[in-house]
Amino acid sequence: MKLVKMSLAAAVLLGASAFALDNVKVDGDAKVYYFTKNADTTNAVTGAKSNSLFSKGTSAADAALRIGVTGNLMKNVSFGATGYAISTLGLENNLVDATWTGAHTVRPGTGAGYPEVDDKAWMGEMWVAATLSQTTLKLGRMELDTPLAFSEKWSVVPNTFDAIVAVSQEIADTTIVAGWVGKGNGTNAAGMAGLGGKNQSVLDSVGLALDAGVVGADASFTTFAKNGAYTVGFLNNSFKPLTFQGWSYNVSNIASAYWLQGDVDCQLVKGLKLGAQYAAINTKITGTKDSGAYAARVAYEAIPKLKVGASYSKADTDGTLKVANVATNNLGTAQSKLYTEAYWNYGYVGAAGAESFAVAADYDAGVAQLFAQYTDINNKSATVLAGADHDVTELVLSASKSFGPLDATLAYISTDAKDQNVKVGNTTGSRYDSVLAMLKVNF
C-alpha cells in the first residue's frame, strides 16, 4: 500500500482522528541495526573484494521506524494499525554495501556508480476484531505467530499477513485457533521460487548482498504460496505443569503439515523445564519428498538471575521443504521454531538430514543481560536442498542493556560452516567472525 503525500504518522493515526474512538493507544520505536563480518565478500557491481571487519564490502546497515495505534471502535469491536518506514540513511554509499531488508526500492546508479536504495513506507498491520463472549474474530493485515507460518521479528522489520483468524477460549484452560492466510510480504513465501541459497531479493542483482531479508521486494503483499493456506491449532493447560499445543496446516496445492509440542515444568525438581516437539510436512508437488523433525529440550532456571538449557533435534534425511517458516524463504534461511535454532545462521537445523544440538546460558549481570549459545549442526545429506556436507558450528556472545527508552544489544558471532566463506582453491568454508549492533528507541 503506497502512501502518497501523507506522512507515515498521519496515515496510521487517520482512523483515530476520523471517529470518536475509545481507549486509543499509540506506541512505536525507531531502530538502527548494523552487521559486519570478515568472511570473503565480492561486490557484484564493482567486483571489489573484502574480508575484514567493519569494511564497507562486508557490512550491512538499516534504519526503521514503527508507529502503531490500537483502540475501540465500539463495545467489543477493536482495531489496530501499524506503519513501517525504512531507510539506509545513505549508508549504502558510504559505510556499508548491504541492507537488512529486501523491502527497499532500488534504482540503478549513474554510470558505474552504486544503485540508489530508496526509502520505503507501508502498512504492516491494519485490522479489526470483534469479540463475543470469549471468542474473537480478527480480520485484516496482522502479525502471526504459529510454529510453521509466522512473523520473523529478529530483523529490522517483520513480515506480516493478510488473514482471518478466530481465537476461542470458551473451553476452560484451552485456546482454539483457526485461520486463513491469503497474502504475505515475506521473502519468497513458501520457498517456491527456486532451490537452495540465501534469502534473495532485487538487492542481490545490484550487488547489495542481503543478510537479513525476511520482507520481500518493495514490501509487496502477494498471494501466500499459490492459493493461500488454512491452519487450525489448540493450546491446552488443563494439567497445570504442562502446556501442550497441536497445529494442522493446509497450504493449498503445496503441502499439508502438523506440529505437536509439549512443555512441562518439572514438579520433582524446582526450576527444571522439559520440552518435546514433532513436526511433519507432507508435500503435494510431484518430485518432492515429505519432511519431518523432532526435538527435545531441558532447561534449569532455579538459580537466581541465571537460566541454562540444552536442546537436540533431528530432521528426516530426504525432505524437500525445511522444518522452518514457510512464510519467508523456506528453501533458504527461514527461521525455525525448533528448540535448537541458531542465533544467526538460520536455515540449517530444519534442513533434511540435520542433526543438531545447542547449549545456552542467560545471565542478568546487572550492568547488562549476558547471553551465550553454542550450536552444532551435523548434516551430510546429499539431497538437493541440504547439499553435500553442510556442517555448521556457531558460537554467540551477546550483551543487552536498556537505558530508559533505549534498548541496546552488541553480539559477537563465530561461524564455521562448510558451505560459507569458501576461499579460492578450497572446497569447504573456513571459520569467520561477525559483529552485530542493534539500537532501538521505544516511544
Q: Taking all residues of the chain, what is their mean pLDDT, rounded to a whole number?
A: 87
Report the alpha-carbon distance of residue 429 to residue 57 in Å, rounded: 19
Paired with 403 in beta bridges are 406
Pick 97 or 273 by higher pLDDT: 273
Secondary structure of the chain: what % helix, strand, coil (to 5)? 5, 50, 45
Q: What is the radius of gyration, based on Cα positions, of the chain?
A: 22
Domain membership of residue 96 (yes or no) is yes
Asked whether residue 51 is domain-assigned, the answer is yes
The number of folded domains in the chain is 1
Q: How far apart are CA 121 and CA 12, in angstroms?
A: 11
- At 195 the pLDDT is 27
Is the entire prediction scored with pTM above 0.75? yes
Strand bridging mode 116-118 / 135-142: unpaired
Higher pLDDT, 56 or 358: 358
Q: What is d(CA 40, CA 231) in angstroms, rounded to the nearest whole number?
A: 42
Q: Which domain holds residue 335?
A: 8-442
* Mean per-residue pLDDT, 336-362: 96
Specify the pLDDT at position 117. 84
Residue 388 neighbours by CB distance under 10 Å: 12
In a domain, 144, yes or no: yes
Report how far residue 357's alpha carbon sits from residue 355's, in angstroms, rounded to the nearest whole number: 7
Is residue 98 within a helix (H) or strand (E), and if so which, with residue range? none
Query: SS3 for 359-422, per residue?
Result: EEEEEECCCCEEEEEEEEEECCCCCCCCCCCCCEEEEEEEEEEEECCEEEEEEEEEEEECCCCC
The predicted-structure confidence for 371-422, as pLDDT tens digits, reads as follows 999 999 999 776 544 444 589 999 999 999 999 999 999 999 999 999 899 8
User: Nearest-CA neighbor of 261 among 248, 281, 278?
Assistant: 278
Bridge partners (DSSP) of residue 257 are 249, 281
Position 2 in a domain: no
Grid cell in block for residue 3 = 502512501
Q: What is the CATH number of the domain that holds 376?
A: 2.40.160.10
Task: Tell me if 3 is assigned to some domain.
Answer: no
Residue 3 banded pLDDT, cuts 50, 70, 90: very low
Q: What pLDDT, in 10s, does the model give residues 90-135?
A: 888 789 888 888 898 777 665 555 667 889 999 999 999 999 999 9
Strands (E), 255-383: 255-265, 272-283, 291-300, 306-315, 355-364, 369-378
User: 236 and 243 in contact (C-beta within 8 Å)?
Assistant: yes
Q: Model confidence over 57-96: pLDDT tens digits?
A: 899 899 999 999 999 999 999 999 999 999 999 888 789 8
In DSSP terms, 291 is beta-bridged to: 281
First to last CA, the chain: 25
What pLDDT score was predicted for residue 372? Answer: 98
At 181-239, the pLDDT tens digits run 999 999 865 444 332 223 333 333 333 333 457 898 889 999 888 789 999 999 999 99
Task: Write down the pLDDT at residue 113.
Answer: 56
* Contact call for residues 315 and 321 (beta carbons, < 8 A): no
- pLDDT digits 0-9 by tens, 146-176: 999 999 999 999 999 999 999 999 999 999 9
Question: Helix or strand or coil: residue 207?
Answer: coil
Distance of CA 329 to the CA centre of its chain: 10
User: Would 264 be classed as within a structural domain?
Assistant: yes
C-alpha span between 260 and 148 (Å, rounded): 11
Check if the beta carbon of residue 129 is closer than 8 Å to that of residue 79: yes
Strands 255-265 and 272-283: antiparallel
For residue range 297-327, list pLDDT tens digits in order: 999 999 999 999 999 999 999 898 999 999 9
Between 44 and 397, the higher pLDDT residue: 397
Per residue in 300-316, is it b (16+ CB within 10 Å) or e — as a string? bbeeeeebbbbbbbbbb
